[in-house]
Structure 1
Amino acid sequence: MKKLILFVLILFSSAQAKLDIHVVYPRSNQQVALVDSTFIFGNVSPGAKLVINGISVPVYKDGGWLVFLDVSPGPFVFHIIARKDKDSTLLDWPVNIGPPETTMPMAKYMPRAPHPSTKSIYFVGDTLEFSFKAMAGGVGTFHLDDCEPIPMYQSLSAEQNSQSVFGSVSAPNQVQKRDQNYIGYYRIAEGDTGIHSLCYSYTSPFDSVADSTIIQNLCIDSIITVMPEFPPLIGVFSGQSQIIRTAPGMGYKLLYQPPGIFVKIIGMRDTFYKLALAPGVSGYVNADSVQLLPQGTAIPEGSVSYVQVDKAEGGIAISANLGVKALYEIEENLDPPELNIDFFGVTGSVDWIRYNTKGPLIKIVKWSQPQDQVFRLSVEIGRDRIWGYKPSYDGNKFILKINEEPKTKGGLKGLKVTIDPGHSKDPGAIGPTGLHEEDANLWIAQRLRTMLENKGAKVLMTRTGHEDVSLYDRPLKAEKWGADILVSIHNNALPDGINPFYNNGTSVYYYFPHSMALAEAVHKRMLVSTGLVDHGLYYGNLVLTRYSSVPSILVECAFMILPDQEAKLKTAKFQKACAQGILNGIKDFVAGK
């Protein structure tokens, strides 16, 4: 019997000694961004020695590992060797660096990424920019319908090292030298009714294989419409609230504009309509969110003669009937605290501003007309800081509710805090040993909830388990509950090509200026409580930070792709440290420190 037990133990010990190598990222045969170096991470049997492509890789005590290595464009293999005692395991891990290579030899000379390549609308007098990418040193032209070819100009090379918010990314030298932009221009003239055919042409440098230059053409049919200036093209917002952007697919200009707003369309680029907001002021909106109206439809003009100030639950409501639903933009000033609301397509003729209430929250409401078709309301705040506000429409009446600071007497008793543990159905980032960000976020959130409740605060969690909560439903939960503060908890990762050993730590994000002080307070306290390096304080255009009703921030506690920081996130001690940092930051902010 003893011999049998010994034999079983030997078998069990042998099975335990087997060396396993797991790669978490990148996946096998994954298409990785075109960079000259990138990271790979995963786990191996604890205590093993690891070598990848001849480089010794430190293995954390729980088996997690991460390394940043040189790579080359095209198919690339990470040769991974693990050794422990007398055992060894070899794993070849293939990936593809950069776009896949074409199987057609001459296709490398084909014009790529042409612009425009989708339906566009222009008006007489507009200047069109045409461009494509191709190998440097060639000749590019484009021609419209049956017109003569128009020359294009090779742009200057992009910098080899590009800078992102997370760090610098370096692309391979040979790729930088190969790819160039070719750009040309055409001005819409009287008599142009549309462009039915657009062709890009590229003549390559001498090709030693073909023993000649190569000419490649790329043609696109019926994408450009030329509209007459009169009658104007009018549309109306449909669906849910819309974002007005600075350019197609670019930065946010106006937030959350409601349906039912009439707009004048003065162009179309890349599935975005260009809108005339006021003389000399334009913006872009997704074309799918606009319903075109019959030709000749007049765009209604707004006017304001009366503004009213009323008491509202938890604050003050300022309202004005504009006569129309108008596009609006809200600008915050912090010193002194003030809100300026610009309405586009509206003219002011205000004879009366009625104060049905006059508390300490606001000093005065003023109006002005900074330019034609732009009406401005200016609200001077009577408190030391702006706590939050919510714009809305009731028919054609615009209402701005300004929230009063919660009465906590400098403590946290009665403070209503919404905690958002980031991710749920989407697991978020994954660490070297397989820890999911959704779990780490929830553990920290649960500890923060307990700490806040122990201080007398009230807490709403956007999720308490792994239930699926959509991204846009999370701030709505805070709004419906009447939160005083919103904190979204996350843990970080990096895009391909950025060195995680130089770019990691703890960071905090805000969007609205009135949320910056909370972000600063939490950021300062997180650096102390976690002991991690400073990854920065950021303005961040994120769904959870774009909640204007209360101070709203997003906290990236640690970088879970680093083995040591992933290991910390598994411990109660570090989870408490993260929660304590957020708690202390909230306390400092509420106390006005």
Structure 2
Amino acid sequence: MNKIAVSLICLVANNAFCQNTDKPFIKLVQPSRKTNAVSWSNSFIIGSTCKTCTVTVNEKSVKVYPTGAFAVELNLRPGDTSFTIIASLANKTVNKKLAYTYTLPKPPEPVKDLSIENIETWPEGNLILMTGDKIKFRVKALTNCVVKAMGDTRLYELPVNQTKGMPGIYQGEYIVKATDSFTVMKIPVSVTDSLNSSFTKETKQVFSILSPLASDIAITKGRLAHLEYGLGDDRLGGAKIGYIDSNIVLKIIGKAGSHFKVQLSKSRTAYIPDDLVTLMPKGTFTPESLTTKWNVYGENQYDYVKVGLFARLPYQSYQATDPSTIVVDIFGATNNTNWITQLQTAKEIAKVDYQQVEDDLFRITITLKHAQHWGHLIYYYDNTLVIKIKHQPENLSLKNLVIAVDAGHGGTNTGAVGATGIYEKELTLALSLKLQKAFEKEGARVIMTRTKEQFFDNKERILFYRDSLPDLLLSIHLNSSEDPFRASGTSTYYRYIGFKNLSLDIYKRMLELGLKEYGNTGSFNFMLNSPTEYPNALVETLFLSNLEEETKILDENFQEQMVEKIVLGVKDFLKESK
């Protein structure tokens, strides 16, 4: 690493990589405690010592990597196990003792008396419902009984071959009726045995019917309002349909947990977090509009498609290739367009067309002149929907472009940690600074998320680049796994098919470093992959958790090679786009 990067890392992390001591030490990153109660047999001891030290665990030699990192895989047996780690150099030794208590998880048991062990409902969370909505029940209770929800809705016991051998699992659905009028309530579930004895338990979740007097119209707020397809969730959040503008009118038809359910068209629904909308007074009009005249023209670096509407309706867009097109669906819109004014100033748009897919779903198709998508943005000007499409740059060389380099994590968001104790945030910054220098050497103008150790929320990053409008964005990260030996490799990520080639070209170049394939992944729901305004790629350079790959990334020469491959990948992308 260069002196600045090394100084930064050593100052912040004080990790083994920076310590050129001739004294043995033991610094563990896993486990973090001396005594550990676990319910799984497989685990790891991961840490570091001085680079010239030897390490034993329970008198067995352990490989020490050139960085001082070491790791041991444990296969525990039920009961108590102790481990003594000894680091030695010459006649000096230090030791550290760890204790594990491995307890086999208790196998699930059937319910043995007239009772209900648990009640699960879907959709999860507290619900606000409308006629026709379903509530799904899964109940664990005494076997061979009659189980009912809502008083008379029968739930049926599943055969044990569908429940992993567990008797007493009952399932069923309740469909909300027009005559239902329950307000906020927990739903009772009863179990009755052959002697007609019964037991009743209520759901943890609360249910209610959307009142005819309640507000059922909301408008979006903020610059990052987004719609989600459903209620699924993982570490990247729910799958997003896409970001939409502020003050867009939405029809509310229910709520699940913290998400409003909205009706986009007769055949489409979506969800939106409740903190992204403002409820409107009862009597606010349902979102719908006729389309009016269109204008298609270009100026400077962008073409524009402007579609007149009478209300700010929700929309979604997606990219297609072969041919390169942008498709925009406007929900609640009905065609009344009798002419489309098109000017020759449009440089990127080859043609525009539309289709009334359903009574309340209007589709715009924009065919582009170039095969490569360079980005688009959708917003409203008053009630006019504006689709802003970026021209392909006239000169596809780095010296003519603005490149955004995002150093992942930072500040309190440390990211992954290697065996030496170095944090992902430190290495992403070191790599990004080198990448900045490499791109600037090629003549590019580089925009950086951060050039020092500080925290930036991902939403701040998106808005910063929305305002800066780079030609390309690269987000630099390192991957991680609990397994320090097997999980390894390089990977790149994209969300939109029109931006795939950028990530793929970088990925191909990264593989030239001899790194294992971990894949070029599409439809990735990472926030820095979510903008449609410019091609973007997430680069997970390698696995910081892997001891071999940590050794590589801590080597300055390897960092330089990695940066060189990323730059070459971007050049390949630009060459293919001509």
TM-score when scaled to structure 1? Answer: 0.81
Change (3 A) 1:40 1:356: farther
Residue deviations 1:374-411, cap 9 Å, x none? 11111110112211111111121111111112232x43
Moved more, 278-287 or 75-84: 75-84
From 222, 226, 232, give the equivalent of 2:209: 226
Q: Secondary structure at the match of 1:440?
A: helix
Change (3 A) 1:98 1:227: farther
Q: Secondary structure at the match of 2:505?
A: helix
From 69, 94, 97, give the equivalent of 1:91: 97
Give the counterpart letter for 1:397 in structure 2: T
Q: State whether residues 85 and 97 of structure 2, in contact with CA within 8 Å, keep that contact through their aligned partners in structure 1.
A: yes
Residue deviations 1:88-112, cap 9 Å, x none? 624115588999999xx99998427
Give the Cα–Cα distance (whole angstroms) in 2 for the partners of residues 523 and 429 of structure 1. Answer: 21
Shift of 1:138: 8.8
Q: State whether residues 19 and 89 of structure 1, in contact with CA within 8 Å, keep that contact through their aligned partners in structure 2.
A: no
Match for residue 413 of structure 1?
A: 399
Match for residue 238 of structure 1?
A: 221
Q: Secondary structure at the match of 2:498?
A: helix
Give the Cα–Cα distance (whole angstroms) in 2 for the partners of residues 365 and 33 of structure 1. Answer: 61
Q: How is 1:121-520 mapped onto 2 (pairs within 5 angstroms)?
A: 121-131=128-138, 141=147, 143-144=149-150, 147-148=151-152, 150-154=154-158, 182-194=170-182, 196-200=185-189, 218-220=201-203, 223-227=206-210, 233-250=216-233, 251-408=238-395, 410-425=396-411, 426-494=413-481, 496=482, 499-520=483-504
Q: Secondary structure at the match of 2:340?
A: strand
Give the Cα–Cα distance (whole angstroms) in 1 for the partners of residues 254 and 470 of structure 2. Answer: 41
Give the Cα–Cα distance (whole angstroms) in 1 for the partners of residues 76 and 167 of structure 2. Answer: 19
Give the counterpart letter for 1:373 in structure 2: D
Match for residue 164 of structure 1?
A: none
Match for residue 81 of structure 1?
A: 85
Give the Cα–Cα distance (whole angstroms) in 2 for the partners of residues 155 and 431 of structure 1. Answer: 47
Give the counterpart letter for 2:405 in structure 1: I
Match for residue 538 of structure 1?
A: 521
Shift of 1:479: 3.0
Change (3 A) 1:240 1:35: farther
Change (3 A) 1:136 1:46: farther
Give the Cα–Cα distance (whole angstroms) in 2 for the partners of residues 471 and 112 of structure 1. Answer: 37
How many equivalent pairs are there?
541
Match for residue 111 of structure 1?
A: 118
Q: State whether residues 307 and 386 of structure 2, in contact with CA within 8 Å, keep that contact through their aligned partners in structure 1.
A: yes
Give the counterpart letter for 2:249 in structure 1: F
Q: Secondary structure at the match of 1:548?
A: coil
Match for residue 557 of structure 2?
A: 573
- What runs of 5+ residues in structure 1 fail to find an aligned partner? 1-15, 160-175, 205-214
Q: Secondary structure at the match of 1:445?
A: helix
Change (3 A) 1:222 1:485: closer
Match for residue 67 of structure 2?
A: 62
Shift of 1:31: 9.3
Shift of 1:266: 2.1
Moved more, 332-341 or 76-85: 76-85
Give the Cα–Cα distance (whole angstroms) in 2 for the partners of residues 332 and 358 of structure 1. Answer: 23
Give the Cα–Cα distance (whole angstroms) in 1 for the partners of residues 29 and 60 of structure 2. Answer: 19
Identity %: 25
Residue deviations 1:172-224, cap 9 Å, x none? xxxx87899753222223422116332456899xxxxxxxxxx9965247821
Shift of 1:318: 1.0
Give the Cα–Cα distance (whole angstroms) in 2 for the partners of residues 299 and 30 of structure 1. Answer: 60
Q: State whether residues 333 and 360 of structure 2, in contact with CA within 8 Å, keep that contact through their aligned partners in structure 1.
A: yes
Moved more, 177-186 or 250-259: 177-186
Give the counterpart letter for 1:223 in structure 2: V
Give the counterpart letter for 1:246 in structure 2: Y
Shift of 1:285: 1.4
Q: State whether residues 232 and 264 of structure 1, in contact with CA within 8 Å, keep that contact through their aligned partners in structure 2.
A: no
Give the Cα–Cα distance (whole angstroms) in 1 for the partners of residues 406 and 501 of structure 2. Answer: 19
Give the Cα–Cα distance (whole angstroms) in 2 for the partners of residues 135 and 37 of structure 1. Answer: 33
Residue deviations 1:62-119, cap 9 Å, x none? 321234433579x9866243253674624115588999999xx999984276556642
Matched, 1:527 2:511: yes
Q: Secondary structure at the match of 1:468?
A: coil
Residue deviations 1:335-356, cap 9 Å, x none? 1101111100011111111113
Q: State whether residues 250 and 287 of structure 2, in contact with CA within 8 Å, keep that contact through their aligned partners in structure 1.
A: no
Give the counterpart letter for 2:473 in structure 1: L
Give the Cα–Cα distance (whole angstroms) in 1 for the partners of residues 212 and 72 of structure 2. Answer: 59
Change (3 A) 1:97 1:411: farther
Shift of 1:228: 6.4
Give the Cα–Cα distance (whole angstroms) in 2 for the partners of residues 66 and 201 of structure 1. Answer: 53
Change (3 A) 1:179 1:510: farther
Give the Cα–Cα distance (whole angstroms) in 1 for the partners of residues 424 and 103 of structure 2. Answer: 26
Give the counterpart letter for 2:271 in structure 1: Y
Q: Secondary structure at the match of 1:248?
A: coil
Give the Cα–Cα distance (whole angstroms) in 2 for the partners of residues 427 and 252 of structure 1. Answer: 25
Shift of 1:129: 0.5
Change (3 A) 1:80 1:301: same
Q: Secondary structure at the match of 2:311?
A: coil
Q: Secondary structure at the match of 1:42?
A: strand
Q: Secondary structure at the match of 2:557?
A: helix
Shift of 1:279: 1.1
Change (3 A) 1:514 1:89: same
Give the Cα–Cα distance (whole angstroms) in 1 for the partners of residues 317 and 410 of structure 2. Answer: 32
Q: Secondary structure at the match of 2:400?
A: coil
Give the Cα–Cα distance (whole angstroms) in 2 for the partners of residues 292 and 490 of structure 1. Answer: 39
TM-score when scaled to structure 2? Answer: 0.83
Q: State whether residues 328 and 344 of structure 1, in contact with CA within 8 Å, keep that contact through their aligned partners in structure 2.
A: yes
Give the Cα–Cα distance (whole angstroms) in 2 for the partners of residues 128 and 328 of structure 1. Answer: 29
Change (3 A) 1:533 1:197: closer
Q: State whether residues 110 and 216 of structure 1, in contact with CA within 8 Å, keep that contact through their aligned partners in structure 2.
A: no
Residue deviations 1:544-586, cap 9 Å, x none? 1112111100101111112222222222101101101110000
Moved more, 232-241 or 431-440: 232-241
CA RMSD of aligned residues (A): 3.8
Matched, 1:37 2:23: no
Give the counterpart letter for 1:570 in structure 2: L
Change (3 A) 1:201 1:577: farther
Give the counterpart letter for 2:399 in structure 1: K
Matched, 1:25 2:42: no
Give the Cα–Cα distance (whole angstroms) in 1 for the partners of residues 245 and 107 of structure 2. Answer: 46
Give the Cα–Cα distance (whole angstroms) in 1 for the partners of residues 548 and 54 of structure 2. Answer: 17
Shift of 1:150: 3.6
Give the Cα–Cα distance (whole angstroms) in 1 for the partners of residues 42 and 142 of structure 2. Answer: 24
